[in-house]
Homo-oligomer: A and B are copies of this chain.
Amino acid sequence: IMISQASSEHSICFVIQSKDIPAAREALDMEFAPELAVNKIDKIEVKSNLAIIAAVGDNMAGHPGISGKLFKAIGENSINIIAIAQGSSERNVSLVVHEVDAVKAVNVIHSAFYLSHRVSHVFIIGAGNIGSTLLEQMRGELDELFMKHGLLIRVCGIATLERMVIDDQGIDLDNWQSTLSESTQPVNLDVLLQQIKELKLQNSILVDVTASDDVAGRYVDFLNAGIHIVTPNKRANTMRQEFYNKLKLLTQDHRLHYLYETTVGAGLPLISTIQDLVQSGDDILQIEGIFSGTLGYIFSALSPQNKFSDIVRRAYENGFTEPDPRDDLSGTDVARKILILAREIGLQMELEDVQVEPLLPESLAAGSLEEFWRNLPALDAEFEEKRAAAETQGRLLRYMASLKNGRCQVGITAVLREHVLSRADGADNIIRITTKRYFDNPMTVQGPGAGREVTAGGIFANIINLSFHLP
């Protein structure tokens, strides 16, 4: 039914129906007995359980690119091709594949030729506040993205600390909670990675919505498996410089994308803007800003009537702080953010190279949460004193991070009332970028730098942009 002998090959192959195998084998053995005897022919081999897939069409003749599309689709879906034949009539390209791959191969070819949409497959780790908001946003928008932009995004996996669910046909987002809660599959990153690999789906994207070191530490393995990564998790980019460099190198070598816009300023356009400036040859001279909504809120509320400890307590009670407010007050989170930006502009440095002025004395940083709340008012007088001193100079206290001359600093600063950073209202982030091109008038971005809706929206935007650009 099909014959193929590639040039320079010392073999010739042809495809026949299974029922004809014994007869063909006998005929060949007989015909080539002399050649086989003197080893002019090495062996006659029969491969079974194969299928021929033929793409047929008169218009294929003289149309470059058809076979490219065909073989690309087959290859990207990890289907092995055993033999190929296209005769010079150019009306038929035939492939031989394993029988088990036949249906998949036909589907893959169909979608390559008949559908103009792009497809990507998303695996989400973490379904807490932000993860579940992301899933809710996706539930509302995926249909519209498909209808309006021909973009088909499928959530094919959701994993939490306890369990995970994987479905290559896409999980129904109307009831992902129950689907997940019914799952009996415990979470194991090795198993998850292995399963994603085995699915061999086109355009797989890992979305890490945890704050976990463990998950971040495995990005290398996911990238090596050809999986793109989108994340708000600051951990990977603030681990050792060596690890960061490895991630960057892997994404380049494998032509993968690793997107983390929401690690700094949530949905505000910061990292992409800085990348654009750096790559187009601008020099970033200075970045300064308020990168913590919680600390922004606390410092903009300070006044003779509003004691530091009361404000912290109020922020805590309104859910603006971490469960342990010291996680915000330590300044480490801000330090991570400025480090991420520093590495983005090409500086090689570690988290401990960021100079952090702690907001709390050591006595308060340690100990139980109760002790912390009991001892916090002891700081009120000191903060009011600092605030008043700043005021007499027309200044306001802000917890600021800055990056200048290759150095990163985080701490309390008294800024002039006219200074751009004094404009931060409530929990706003405000970031000013001074560059060679934006010198006399720097670029300023202001807005909420945290919150489940804006953070999830930023992650979703990363997923959409990536999906738009994937093959």
Contacts and interface: CB of A to CB of B under 8 A. Distances in A.
Q: Top 3 nearest A-B pairs by Cβ distance?
A: A68-B75, A65-B75, A469-B469
A268 to B, nearest CB: 7
A426 B7 CA distance: 71
A364 interface: no
Contacts of A464: 276, 279-280
Given A276-B465, A280-B460, A281-B137, A82 B71 contact: no
Given A276-B465, A281-B137, A438-B447, A74 B85 contact: no
A253 interface: yes
A4 interface: yes
A370 to B, nearest CB: 33
A87 B4 contact: yes
A78 interface: yes
Contacts of A446: 443-446
B52 A88 contact: no
Contacts of A15: 7
A39 B137 CA distance: 66
Contact of A8 (B7, B14, B92, B279): B92
Interface of A: 1-9, 11-15, 45, 47, 52, 54, 56, 62-94, 96, 116, 118, 137, 140-141, 144-145, 149-150, 252-253, 255, 257, 267-269, 272-273, 276-277, 279-282, 423, 425-428, 436-438, 440-448, 451, 453-454, 457-458, 460-461, 464-465, 469-471
Contacts of A4: 3-5, 85-88
Contacts of A425: 441
Given A268-B443, A277-B461, A437-B454, A7 B1 contact: yes
Contacts of A280: 137, 141, 457-458, 460-461, 464
A71, A442, A460, A470 interface centre (most CB from chain B within 10 Å): A71
A73 B68 contact: yes
A54 B7 contact: yes
Contacts of A71: 67-68, 70-72
Contacts of A141: 279-281
Contacts of A149: 252, 279
A457 B145 contact: no
A74 B69 CA distance: 10
A465 B77 CA distance: 26
Contacts of A82: 88, 90
B64 A79 contact: yes
Contacts of A454: 437-438
B74 A72 contact: no
Contacts of A81: 64, 67, 86, 90
Given A280-B460, A427-B441, A438-B447, 6 more contacts: A1-B8, A64-B77, A65-B75, A118-B255, A282-B457, A443-B446
